[in-house]
Every structure is written in C-alpha cells, then in structure tokens.
Amino acid sequence: MQDHRTGNGADPDLVTYELKGDVALVGLNRPEKRNAISDRFIEAIAVAVERAQSEAKAAVIFGHGNHFCAGLDLAEHVQKSPIEGVKGSRRWHAVFGEIEHGAIPWIAALHGAVVGGGLELASSAHIRVADETAFFALPEGQRGIFVGGGGSVRTARLMGAARMADMMLTGRVVSAEVGERWNLASYVVPAGTALDKAMELATAAASNAMLSNYAVIHALPRIQDMAKEDGLFVESFISAFTATSPEAEERLRAFLEKRAKRLEVPKGDA
C-alpha cells in the first residue's frame, strides 16, 4: 500500500493520507493531544480533503491513537480574540462544508472521544461508523463556549435540537449504542473495527455511478430544506438527468441482461 503524505505547505505530520484503490484514507494524526484541532491542523485537513476530492471516489476519515478527535484545540483558543474566533469558526465551516458538499462521499470511522468539534467534523461526513469504544459529548457549555464547526446546523439535524440541547446543557456523555439510537452513527461495530467497516462502506459507495453519488450528497440535504412540492419537483429533474448518462444506461442494461450482481437479502442485522 502506498503511503502518500499531504503536502502543499500543510503539516504532513498532522494528517496522514493514503489512496487505497478508489478510496482515500485521511487520518487525524495528533494523538498526543487527542487529535484536538488547531489552526494548523484544520489547514492540513483542508489539503487532504482537496486531494481526496481530486483523485478518489470515496473517502474515510479516522483518528490515529485512542480517540477520533477531542474537538477544538482549547490551548490555542484561549488566546484568541473574538474576531479571531469568528474567523476560525468560518474556516472550519468552509473545510467541513467541502466534506459535506464536495464531490465524493465521506465515511467517518469513530472510536474513543468524538467530542465537541470532533463530533462536528464527524457530522459533516455522509455516514458515521462507531466502534464500541466511541463516546459522544458536547462540553462547550462546561468550557464557556459554543459550537463553532457547524454543529448547531449539522449535528442538531442529525439528532434533533432537543437532544443536542440536553448534551450541551448537562454535559451528558453518550455511548456508541445510544449514539446509534440518536442517529449520530449508522453502524456500531466491535472495538477496533470501525476503520475496516468504514473502508468496506467506502469501497461500496465508490463503485456507484459518481453522478448518483453526487446527487445524493448535494440533493438530499437541499431537498430536506425545501417545501414538499418544491422537493418533489427538483427530485424529478435530478432523477431524469442522472438516468440520461451513458453510465446509467450501461448499468441499467447490465441489470436487464443479468450481468449485474443481485441484491443480497439480509440474513440478520444489516
């Protein structure tokens, strides 16, 4: 497996980057600080995200060490002025926005702390896989701050504002199992296997028509924000447009000519 490190001026040691087939693997690599995200770190993530979008068909983001991510680098944040805080938050929005509304699907492989900005980062991915060691928390209230990485929009939409308010007001720490019930993760897997599961899902997503994946990433969240009739109207056009691509025609013919794999009927939990 070839190990490509991020370059272009971003710190190569903060984020590992690997291209495995069509899937990019982006690893948060500041375990000594529990992958807390500093200004330099967010720039390293930005470089890796851009590179993944340019050469992969799907991507996985994970954390090196015992935790996915402990959120904002509080040591750096304590020294910031309000305007620096606003600019920092807007930069996080831009980088996480590239993940959520970029060109490829992102799967977050979660273990250990998925906390504060770490949960906001995970919320910008399209699928979240948590292993049994993962725990979720939003200790912003305890730290005297507020979410700034898109959590009030993305994380609140995943689990609902009431549950998010509970976590933020009480400091509640939520297990992987509860996180799954609350829609913070779609899969809970045995300890140490989240990355493998995320790779499996990313490989499956990478084998789809890219135009279909693009439509899923861009259309679903936008249609959710539309009035019902507007959403249905837009859906019809996206549906008709994706079906006119040569790739769609070939995939449809492959099914009709029995060249395509059939769906597998689930045996147990799927």
Looking at the Cβ atoms of 185 and 202, the one nearer to ligand 1HE is 185
233 contact partners, CB below 8 Å, separation of at least 6? none
Residue 2: how many other CB atoms lie within 10 Å: 6
Residue 260, phi-psi category: left (phi > 0), alpha (psi -120 to 50), beta (remainder): beta
Beta strands in the chain (DSSP E): 3-5, 15-20, 23-28, 58-63, 106-110, 113-115, 127-131, 135-137, 174-175, 187-189
Token digits for 93?
Answer: 């929005």
Burial class (CB in 10 A: 0-12, 13-18, 19+), 39: middle
Binding stretches for ligand 1HE (CB under 6 A): 33-34, 36, 67, 70-75, 89, 92, 113, 115-117, 139-140, 143, 145, 147-149
Q: How far is the CB of 74 from ligand 1HE (least distance, A)?
A: 4
120 catalytic? Reply is yes
Catalytic residue among 43, 140, 235, 249: 140
Token digits for 52?
Answer: 């993944």
Looking at the Cβ atoms of 75 and 220, the one nearer to ligand 1HE is 75
Looking at the Cβ atoms of 103 and 173, the one nearer to ligand 1HE is 173
Looking at the Cβ atoms of 67 and 163, the one nearer to ligand 1HE is 67
Catalytic residue among 43, 98, 100, 120: 120
Q: How far is the CB of 11 from ligand 1HE (least distance, A)?
A: 16
Looking at the Cβ atoms of 105 and 149, the one nearer to ligand 1HE is 149
Beta strands in 139-239 (DSSP E): 174-175, 187-189
Q: How far is the CB of 85 from ligand 1HE (least distance, A)?
A: 9
Looking at the Cβ atoms of 27 and 117, the one nearer to ligand 1HE is 117
Token digits for 181?
Answer: 């019930």
What is the SS3 assignment for 43-57? HHHHHHHHHHHHHCC
Strand 15-20 with 3-5, pairing = antiparallel
Q: How far is the CB of 38 from ligand 1HE (least distance, A)?
A: 8
Q: How far is the CB of 157 from ligand 1HE (least distance, A)?
A: 17
132 catalytic? Reply is no
DSSP 8-state class, residue 263 = P
Which residues belong to the active site? 120, 140
